[in-house]
């Protein structure tokens, strides 16, 4: 077996090797990652969490997700857009989230920008950048999985053009992977053939 190929999990089924370091990762990999997510609020949540993840491990964010959801009013765009200076200070003192001033400010600013969009615009914009799966080779190992693609670069530019922050091409591609716009489960992974179904599409 080459480095980076699918590895047998606790149940013997092969999985992407990154998914096997913790039980939290196994659940996330099997039930969420790569499954289609739709809805403006749900996509805003994923975009925000991917931005908070920048420079950190995803497990750090995953384990704090309940805290993030509580702190950011369930990531309802309309509610976060109405956050006040007092809310900002509350977030900066909240040990249940990542207390990064720039990322907190961006999350609030993004909600305010998105509140001006028509309903469904975020969903439509993000999904309009999904590449044709027929033109994508199936990754055999982790070395075959890109960190940035032309589509993620275009998505990043489109989001920035409409006023969003902390949405660089790498963050945009992580969003595309997590929300099912691309299928980056490895060829031998047990979740490869079922990433689009099974989990609710409106959120985690």
Q: Which residues are catalytic?
A: 28, 50, 58
Q: Is 129 annotated as a binding residue?
A: no
Structure tokens at 69: 């959801």
Q: How many CB atoms lie within 10 A of CB 150?
A: 11
Q: Is 179 annotated as a binding residue?
A: no
DSSP conformation letters of 126-189: HHTTPPPGGGSPPPSSGGGS-S--HHHHHHHHHHHHTT--S--HHHHHHHHHHTTSS--S-TT-
For residues 185-197, one letter each, b for 16 or more C-beta atoms within 10 angstroms of the residue's C-beta and e for the rest, the string is: bbebbbbbeebee
Residue 112 backbone phi and psi in degrees, to 5: -65, -40
**Distance between CA atoms of residues 19 and 62, nearest Å:** 13
Residues annotated in the binding site for Zn(2+), as ranges?
16, 29, 185, 189
């Amino acid at each position: 077996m080459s480095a980076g190929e699918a590895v047998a999990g606790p149940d013997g089924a092969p999985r992407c090797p990154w998914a096997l370091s913790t039980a939290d990762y196994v659940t996330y990999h099997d039930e969420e990652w790569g499954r289609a997510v739709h809805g403006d609020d749900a996509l805003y949540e994923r975009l925000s969490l991917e931005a908070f993840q920048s420079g950190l491990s995803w497990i750090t964010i995953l384990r704090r997700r309940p805290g993030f959801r509580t702190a950011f009013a369930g990531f309802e765009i309309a509610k976060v857009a109405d956050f006040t200076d007092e809310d900002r200070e509350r977030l900066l003192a909240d040990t249940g989230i990542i207390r990064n001033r720039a990322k907190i400010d961006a999350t609030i600013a993004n909600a305010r920008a998105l509140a001006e969009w028509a309903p469904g615009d975020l969903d439509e914009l993000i999904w309009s950048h999904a590449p044709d799966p027929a033109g994508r080779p199936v990754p055999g190992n982790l070395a075959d999985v890109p960190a940035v693609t032309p589509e993620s670069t275009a998505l990043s530019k489109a989001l920035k053009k409409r006023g969003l922050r902390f949405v660089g091409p790498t963050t945009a591609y992580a969003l595309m992977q997590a929300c099912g716009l691309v299928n980056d489960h490895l060829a031998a992974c047990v979740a490869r053939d079922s990433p689009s179904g099974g989990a609710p599409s409106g959120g985690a």
